[in-house]
Chain A
Amino acid sequence: MIKEELRELAQRDLDGDLTEKEQQRLKTALRGSDAARREYDELKGLVKSLSSVKVVDPPPHLENRIRASLRGEERASNPFPSWLARIREALDKPRPSMRFAAVFAGGLVVGALLLLVLDGPVRSWNVSDTDAAGSLAVQVGSIPIAAEGVKGTVNVARTPTGRDLTVNIISDSPAAVRFSYNPTQLTVSSVREIATSGGEMKIHAGLVEMTHSTLTHCAISFSARGDADVELVVVPATGQPFTTTIPIHR
């Protein structure tokens, strides 16, 4: 048997891929060659070592981190509540009564949304009793971030002294994320990187900047002396920057 053929049989045997006849041929060939036998044993040893490599437990916080990101994703991809989605679904159905009800309900929703938009730049107002940081903050809004190759959300939570902004961004290529504010009106009380895919974070008075990240998940706490704004700018690798202004009140 030529060396290549023997090697192929040996390899296939490791995966249990040989017929009885082929197994017999392999055994006979191995008996006749010490070098082939040695190589076969080494390959068997390799497979055994590979299958006994320790299975590692994921970090305990990872599951929660993924859930937090998914909550951000859901808000970004579906800024409408589920009941509005159901109305939109109903509009596609051919039943006239359903269509009328859906159009009527849709009108009410559009009116309500208009009121919210006119009320300020924070687009949806959901009250929950905790925020991503697990503090006593109350979530008050969520703003979708969308630029070329960039998706995400900034969740806004009210705290006793100001606002917690939790930012989730996923981009196809490195993007820069900047928070600028007036340092005489606002102070940053904490900045936590929950997850990033590399890159760096710079903190100056009046500016928190994260660069070269394709995955950014961070939380920033602002304390306010009065009413002030934070300007969030996301600069994608290509295309127009995304800019939004977030009001911070004490």
Chain B
Amino acid sequence: MIEISDTEAVRRCRAGDQKAFDVLLKRHERMVYNLALRMVRDTDDAADVTQSVFIKVYEKLDGFDERYKFFSWLYKIAVNEALSHLERRKREQRLDGIDAAEEEEETVDDELVERDQQIQDGLMALKEEHRALIILKHMQGLSYEEIGQIMDIPLKMVKSRLYSARQQLKDQLKRKGMSLA
């Protein structure tokens, strides 16, 4: 298929062109999966979240406002889906009497190199919203404005929360003995 923009792919999907959704899926699957993986840590859970995100996108495509960027809208759905997944996981762990911290230790992914694992440990120790901010800013490279749109918070709050999240993450990693200099 000829390279088409996200907006054009959305238009074609709305007109019933199934293949156009494949373009969106192929283009953004990796990004959504990595965002989910950093948010929930476990590879199987990240795959579940990615699947749910694309199903939600497909269902809500008619509601997408073309004045906004498709990827911002997609990120918004992905962040919300990851947060909901974490909430559900906490609820299930409470019901099963599993300590969340113990569970986290058990689900360390072998694919991550040691330094990445230390960073992932630090991320998991942050509040979920702070974790999302760090991931969007430093792993996905988004601007303050884009993060504000995705997280539905004003610019000033993006900055202040990001500063606080970074500070906490730095202190956390230092406590675990990671050298940052």
Contacts and interface: CB of A to CB of B under 8 A. Distances in A.
Interface string A29-43: 000000000100111
Interface stretch (A60-68, A140-148, A182-190, A202-210): A60-68
A245 interface: no
Nearest to B180: A45
B180 A11 contact: no
Chain A, interface residues (CB within 8 Å), range: 35 or more
Nearest to B164: A11
Interface in A138-177: 170
Contact of B52 (A7, A43, A170): A170
A42 B180 contact: yes
B89 A66 contact: no
A67 B55 CA distance: 9
B50 A66 contact: yes
A115 interface: no
A214 interface: yes
B37 A214 contact: no
A56 B111 contact: yes
B33 interface: yes
A82 to B, nearest CB: 6
Contacts, number: 119
Interface stretch (B4-12, B63-71, B113-121): B113-121
Output the residue of B38, B88, B138 with the most chain A CB within 10 A: B138
Contacts of A46: 166, 169-170, 173, 180
A50 B139 contact: yes
A73 B113 CA distance: 37
Nearest to A48: B180
Chain B, interface residues (CB within 8 Å), range: 35 or more
A212 B93 CA distance: 12
A92 interface: no
A7 B167 CA distance: 10
Given A11-B166, A15-B137, A212-B92, A197 B48 contact: yes
A65 B170 contact: no
A49 B174 CA distance: 13
Contact of B139 (A7, A51, A195): A51
A15 B158 CA distance: 12
Contacts of B181: 38, 41-42, 45
Nearest to B89: A198
Nearest to A47: B138
Output the residue of A41, A65, A196 with the most chain B CB within 10 A: A65
Given A15-B162, A50-B134, 7 more contacts: A11-B162, A43-B170, A62-B51, A66-B51, A67-B25, A70-B21, A74-B58
Interface of A: 7-8, 11-12, 14-15, 17, 38, 41-43, 45-47, 49-51, 53-59, 62-63, 65-67, 69-70, 73-74, 77, 82, 170, 195-198, 212, 214-215
